[in-house]
Amino acid sequence: MTWKQTTTLIPDGVQTLSKRVCCHVADVYPEWIEYGKGSKIFDALGRKFIDYPCSLGATILGHAYPAVVEAVTEQLKKGTLFSLSHPKETELAELMHDVFPSMEMMRFVKTGSESCQAAVRVARAYTGREPILCCGYHGWHSWYNCTTPKNAGSVKQDVTPVKWGDVRKLEELLVEKKPAAFILEPYVYEDEGRVEKWLKEVRKLCTVHKTVMILDENVTGFRTRKLSAQNHWKIKPDLSCFGKAMANGVPMACFGGNRDIMKVLESNCFVSSTFGGDLLGISAAIATIKVLRNKAAIEHIWVMGSKMKTAFNQAAQAIMKGEDIKCIGLPPRTHFIFPTAAHKSLFWQECLKQGIFFGHAQFVGYSHDLTDIDKTISVIRQAMKMVNKFWDKPQDALVGIPAEETLRLVTTPAPEQTKAMPDCKKCGKKHWTFQKCE
Ligand SMILES: Cc1ncc(COP(=O)(O)O)c(C=O)c1O
């Protein structure tokens, strides 16, 4: 089988945009990954790499994690899908409710895009309103896709993106559009210090304007401290979406939340799929969540992720010429910034040559151990020296074609809001309209 055959049969040769050849250093990165074990992946030539994109954030425990393999194998032997419900659906729902108390009722789906589409539909059905505000990436379905540059074929809808942290704009849009929902990723690569403030302001504004607050925790779920942004920052969204790491790489996602809102699914709104009750995903999710809860996995992930982030930034300071290189984001999902695609691609190329597979985000997981992280740090330092050497002409050392950015752009938070806070017409002081005069 050749890569040419693949691209003849499969558009771009991939099922996911960020797996495209153009998103890596073409001619340097492997075409295929054949298998994975723990924190390592192996290509068709038998080369071993420490994996950092980790299945785009899905394999949080590592590839082929034994407890998950066992749970799936056992279920496989007993049948995977029936035409009535199975008790494991309730077992998982109870576990989810226990971990995320805001999930009073929920339904299972297979992908994060479905979870967001379903939550948006439920919010529209509950409020009887149509417009949607969004912040972040929410999958490929038309309601969201129509807001992106790659939107041919999607029917245009009244959906308006809001910049992360822009409370003033959010308030304006809530007044102007009277949206059914504001769906947002709690954070992408923003500083931890500002996340709580932003989420609390969003919560208050959505309540005042009777807009359903949907927290898209497809990435932040199971990865943030206390297993989610909502738990960590004590925010109760009306609806939430979970997927990605929920079943450690087995297709599984979920949306749910406030019971009154979710009850529209027992009335005039439906979200239904043949594979919603797929027992492989459900078994994998139960096993994954139990490991995450019982083994202090999140603490391990944060320690490993912080170590790598700090070492990257220290190396950037010590070795690199410019200030333009840094690692941003919270420890379980970080992103490297370089001044140009060529600089970053040269860095990736040099890391790959030494067995480190980087992608647009690093999702450090439970299987990354100190040996992996120490090796990675040593390779990062060597790769930076190479980038430094070719700083003025990185192309001269690049074997392949520089990587393009993925569709997900790094969000640029709005500037601190204090300056933009309006003068209150009643008391003359600066405060948001949802806050009472002092
Ligand atoms: C925050 C967020 N929501 C939704 C999705 C869509 O999930 P999926 O690709 O599983 O459909 C993604 C995927 O990257 C995501 O990052």
Ligand 1 probe mutation, 244, 408, 409, most atoms within 8 A of CB: 244
Amino acid at 65: Y
Find tokens 């943030």 and name the residue: 224
Task: Kindly state the DSSP code that residue 324 receives in the 8-state scheme.
Answer: -
Percent of the chain beyond pLDDT 90?
A: 87
Architecture of the 16-64+297-396 domain: Alpha-Beta Complex (3.90)
Look at domain 81-277 and name its CATH class: alpha beta
Q: Which residue's CA is minimally distant from atom 7 of ligand 1?
A: 112
Compute, in angstroms, the gap from residue 149 CA to the centroid of ligand 1: 17
Tell me, what's the pLDDT at 429?
73
Q: Which residues line ligand 1 (CB under 6 A)?
A: 111-113, 116, 136-139, 185, 216, 218-219, 243
| Helix or strand (DSSP H, E) at 89 | helix 87-99
- Whether 432 shows a pLDDT value over 50: the answer reads no
The ligand 1 atom at the shortest distance from the C-alpha of residue 116 is 4
The domain ranges of the chain are 16-64+297-396, 81-277
Ligand 1 probe mutation, 54, 116, 190, 411, most atoms within 8 A of CB: 116
Tell me, what's the pLDDT at 400?
83
Q: Which residue's CA is minimally distant from atom 14 of ligand 1?
A: 139
Tokens at 41, concatenated: 């992946």
In this prediction, residues 316-343 reach a mean pLDDT of 90
Compute, in angstroms, the gap from residue 138 CA to the centroid of ligand 1: 5
Q: What pLDDT band is residue 216 in, cutting at 50, 70 and 90?
A: very high
CA dist list (Å): 279 to 78, 89, 95, 159, 253: 10, 8, 15, 34, 13
Residue 1: CB partners within 8 Å, gap ≥ 6?
none
CA dist list (Å): 177 to 169, 339, 405: 12, 38, 32
Instruction: Describe the crossing of helices 192-208 and 167-177 by its angle, rounded to 10 degrees.
Output: 20
Q: Among 153, 144, 150, 86, which Cα is nearest to 118's? A: 144
Q: What pLDDT band is residue 438 in, cutting at 50, 70 and 90?
A: low
Q: What pLDDT band is residue 406 in, cutting at 50, 70 and 90?
A: low
Compute, in angstroms, the gap from residue 157 CA to the centroid of ligand 1: 20
Largest CA distance in the chain: 73
The ligand 1 atom at the shortest distance from the C-alpha of residue 136 is 1
In this prediction, residues 277-301 reach a mean pLDDT of 97
Tell me, what's the pLDDT at 27?
86
In this prediction, residues 173-177 reach a mean pLDDT of 98
3-state secondary structure 112-166: HHHHHHHHHHHHHHHHCCCCEEEECCCCCCHHHHCCCCCCCCCCCCCEEECCCCC
Q: Which residue's CA is minimally distant from atom 4 of ligand 1?
A: 138
Cβ-contact 294, 366 below 8 angstroms: no
- Whether 433 shows a pLDDT value over 70: the answer reads no
29-48: pLDDT as tens digits: 999 999 999 999 999 999 99
Compute, in angstroms, the gap from residue 381 CA to the centroid of ligand 1: 32
Compute, in angstroms, the gap from residue 163 CA to the centroid of ligand 1: 18
Q: Among 233, 204, 211, 102, which Cα is nearest to 160's? A: 211
Tokens at 271, concatenated: 């979200």
Q: Among 367, 376, 363, which Cα is nearest to 335's? A: 363
Residue 293: CB partners within 8 Å, gap ≥ 6?
99, 227
- Whether 249 shows a pLDDT value over 80: the answer reads yes
Tell me, what's the pLDDT at 25?
92
Following CA atoms 385, 390, 395, 397 in sequence, which dihedral angle do they give, to the nearest 10 degrees? -60
Compute, in angstroms, the gap from residue 255 CA to the centroid of ligand 1: 13
Ligand 1 probe mutation, 120, 187, 219, 406, most atoms within 8 A of CB: 219
Q: Say how far apart CA 190 and CA 410 lie, in whole Å.
A: 9
Tell me, what's the pLDDT at 258?
98
